[in-house]
Structure 1
């Protein structure tokens, strides 16, 4: 008698099963604890601040610059002017100086978080988020507001370096792509928050509340970080594997198997006791042992990283992707959408900006698992293609006065950005190099990002005006998208499913060794 296949009576919808017979949705999230959610949220407030400060001047631009001045005096603080008189070029300087602060913060944060730890760097970062908004909210002049924006930019640049590194190191290994998108999700939360506030508070001197609220958020993050541990991976690499394992156990929960993740640290657990004993014997009384000198010496500086041939391909890749993220024009919408669309949609430009921010947040959230399913590189190329096409449609819609086409193209432009160019670049820097060069790579990546952001924020209004307005500048963005799309397709490798930088660049490294 032949073998008979078993018969199942159940005919309802099938549940996807992971390995071991466990439902897929449970296997993806079974290692996520409430404590993990808390520390991820506390860390992601930094990227939220970046988004907040990036867009905080968009909606209230006319009120801040005295284009729309109320006849009634403000009740907030009679000693402060209701607005600060400035022209378009001066406003562009105030907008773009935030990016210069971000560049400084990005270059400092990489070496700092490598040598002194992710946690200390994040705590120091929050002080900039508290001090900067104080200058901004109480600014009586262009110079004081510029100082505040520069200080806030330092905090934002630092948070975008250390935040993604920390999230990548504490996230469950199988969901790094999903949680890596948290950085961009929280950036969009910050953008949406400030756009909503701007919609309701863009009058009189109420704009000062928008700028000052960021300081309260910074203070809240500082308090939250007192309950956040140091990155287990960083502790393990700096000769504290036992403490790292204890923290990892607290993050993952009692039942989770840690062996594979601990083995990936590639450290000797017995080395900690020796190192700590030597540190205690050699250190003066009352001092705390510093970072492991051996681990520090193995770290790669930001200058040696770009000069070393084994790291240079990764540096070129992350810098190209970060340039593509900004030079394709997303911040022309985030920073200038109200003034850009006001001529075409005078009554709904501010409301459309809120809708754009909400769509960006929604699309980034639902597309977060996409990079783990179809790949990082595929998401980026889809994103660039969509943005280039939408840029052409936006230029046509604005130049021809087709309001509905311009509105739809703007929404498609932002939605395309959320598919790949928004979240994926923050993941790549941690996957293209080894742990010794992550800090340096992230600094170079964010430095490129801030330089490109400065170029867009400073010169977009000038270029748009030089081309006669009416959205013709988006033809330029379409050409830039095509160039970067071709380069990324040729140069940037896929990192999904790869077990480290050696596997990502294996063939190229082997060729270099032969040569």
Structure 2
């Protein structure tokens, strides 16, 4: 096969299967919003227990990367995604049959484990199979699947919005895409870089040939072997070695910024935000969020050519700057008491900018900046902090909003705070985040080993400093 036509088609098929984990993450995030009113009524939930029903999955997602530490290195990337799919299936059935909030929360926790495993292993897997020139676009397939999952969950939530077993069918519905994920994982290959690390070069070469053709496959295999020989044993202590420590700090801070910037709260609490502003677009509260979810779907599609055309850092800086602008407009909107429909304007700016740049680029960057032997461990720790920050911001957003509303008459101060966080993220990205577009994973790993401790590296393409 060649590295262009059939090889590209082959890698796109693999990326689509691997990205079903992202689909399930988005689907799970929104389907609970549709089920919550019915859960509250049937199980008699207090506000605290409502929070538990939502956050139990996030707690599982925090634990998922810790489980994945061993799985991704010992079992492989593909088998780790398979394990995640089984957790998803158990969660779908268990939560749908739950008789009380505590067993419901337990099964949601199990599903969260699957989320943590899938969102850690899928980007690694895609990045390790993708040719350098396709890596950014292919990792963004995971983001597209996530957004598709969000939009389909809105439809499913509305379709099953009836008393009785309605919320249970919402939970059961998550099992349908899991079946497709399991079937797809049975036929896609393992990561060639993981195979080489396990001294299974023959299997790795066959996979690389299907992607790039024989000549390029042999060359890439040699590059992978050379890169692994320069690396140590892949122990945790390597995360704190000069160079690798810099990459680890960058990845961790970038992913924390991706959760605390406020735009995720616009997505998670979109129905609530618009309902409080007086926007009502349907008999079901979740339907009022359709315009926002539709915008992020369109922007995810637009992100593909943008990622291909522009540099990682340039697109990241533009994206976060526009997010800050969206928060400022929201603050002015709330302060001035503009008409309810005006609330959609800053939400479109913020969520659109986030989806065009920061959302996919954060995953692209952290999936490619670590050397092969340490990549899964680094991603596991980074994802732990990602979900921990996601849990904390989701828990405290309503509290902070209530504080500003009670003391200042509106929640504009919350969005000024988010604008400040986005501004800090712009500064951090400009000063510290390196440009990695078009480089092989081995070239990036070599940079950290040789030059990672030098100041000023972020402003240059890494290849120029190797």
Find the aligned partners of 1:415 and 1:59 in 2 and give their Cα distance. 23
1:143-158 to structure 2, matched below 5 A, reads 143-158=102-117
Q: Give 1:33 shift.
A: 4.4
Q: Secondary structure at the match of 2:225?
A: coil
Q: Secondary structure at the match of 1:367?
A: helix
Find the aligned partners of 2:304 and 2:449 in 1 and give their Cα distance. 25
Contact kept, 8 Å, 1:299 with 1:436, in 2: the verdict is yes
Q: 1:125 to 1:117 in 2, by over 3 A?
A: same
Are 1:41 and 2:16 matched, yes or no? yes
Q: 1:169 to 1:508 in 2, by over 3 A?
A: closer
Contact kept, 8 Å, 2:244 with 2:452, in 1: the verdict is no
Q: TM-score, normalised by structure 2?
A: 0.88
Q: 1:468 to 1:434 in 2, by over 3 A?
A: same
Are 1:414 and 2:389 matched, yes or no? no
Contact kept, 8 Å, 2:21 with 2:115, in 1: the verdict is yes
Contact kept, 8 Å, 2:205 with 2:218, in 1: the verdict is no
- Structure 1 window deviating more from structure 2 (162-171 vs 485-494): it is 485-494
Find the aligned partners of 2:314 and 2:131 in 1 and give their Cα distance. 23
**2:169 maps to what in 1?**
209
Are 1:479 and 2:412 matched, yes or no? no
Are 1:389 and 2:325 matched, yes or no? yes
Are 1:379 and 2:315 matched, yes or no? yes
**1:464 maps to what in 2?**
401
Unpaired segments ≥5 residues, structure 1: 1-26, 67-82, 269-293
Contact kept, 8 Å, 1:133 with 1:213, in 2: the verdict is yes
Q: Give 1:354 shift.
A: 1.8
Find the aligned partners of 1:191 and 1:315 in 2 and give their Cα distance. 30
Q: 1:125 to 1:60 in 2, by over 3 A?
A: closer
Q: Give 1:361 shift.
A: 1.9
Q: 1:444 to 1:103 in 2, by over 3 A?
A: same
Superimposed CA distance per residue, residues 295-333 of structure 1 (whole angstroms, 9 cap, x where no aligned partner): 9x94423x3243323311111101111011110123212
Q: Find the structure with the greater CA-based Rg.
A: 1
* More helix, by proportion: 2
Q: 1:369 to 1:441 in 2, by over 3 A?
A: farther
**1:62 maps to what in 2?**
37
Find the aligned partners of 2:426 and 2:220 in 1 and give their Cα distance. 35
Q: 1:231 to 1:384 in 2, by over 3 A?
A: same
Contact kept, 8 Å, 1:102 with 1:156, in 2: the verdict is yes
1:76-87 to structure 2, matched below 5 A, reads 83-87=42-46
**1:231 maps to what in 2?**
191
Superimposed CA distance per residue, residues 333-374 of structure 1 (whole angstroms, 9 cap, x where no aligned partner): 222211221122342163341221222122122212423432
Find the aligned partners of 2:51 and 2:396 in 1 and give their Cα distance. 8
**2:62 maps to what in 1?**
103
Are 1:424 and 2:424 matched, yes or no? no
Q: TM-score, normalised by structure 1?
A: 0.80
Q: 1:392 to 1:89 in 2, by over 3 A?
A: farther
Find the aligned partners of 1:37 and 1:369 in 2 and give their Cα distance. 16
Are 1:403 and 2:336 matched, yes or no? no
Contact kept, 8 Å, 1:93 with 1:458, in 2: the verdict is no
Contact kept, 8 Å, 2:196 with 2:204, in 1: the verdict is yes
1:159-308 to structure 2, matched below 5 A, reads 159-205=118-164, 206-252=166-212, 257-266=216-225, 298-301=232-235, 303-308=236-241
Superimposed CA distance per residue, residues 85-118 of structure 1 (whole angstroms, 9 cap, x where no aligned partner): 2133321222122111111111221332122211
Q: Give 1:212 shift.
A: 1.3
Find the aligned partners of 1:435 and 1:362 in 2 and give their Cα distance. 33
Contact kept, 8 Å, 2:205 with 2:221, in 1: the verdict is yes
Superimposed CA distance per residue, residues 173-214 of structure 1 (whole angstroms, 9 cap, x where no aligned partner): 211111111121111111111122223333314122121111
User: Which of 87, 90, 98 is the matching residue for 1:139?
Assistant: 98
Contact kept, 8 Å, 1:398 with 1:471, in 2: the verdict is yes
Q: Secondary structure at the match of 2:224?
A: coil
Find the aligned partners of 1:410 and 1:425 in 2 and give their Cα distance. 20
**1:78 maps to what in 2?**
none
- Structure 1 window deviating more from structure 2 (333-342 vs 198-207): it is 198-207
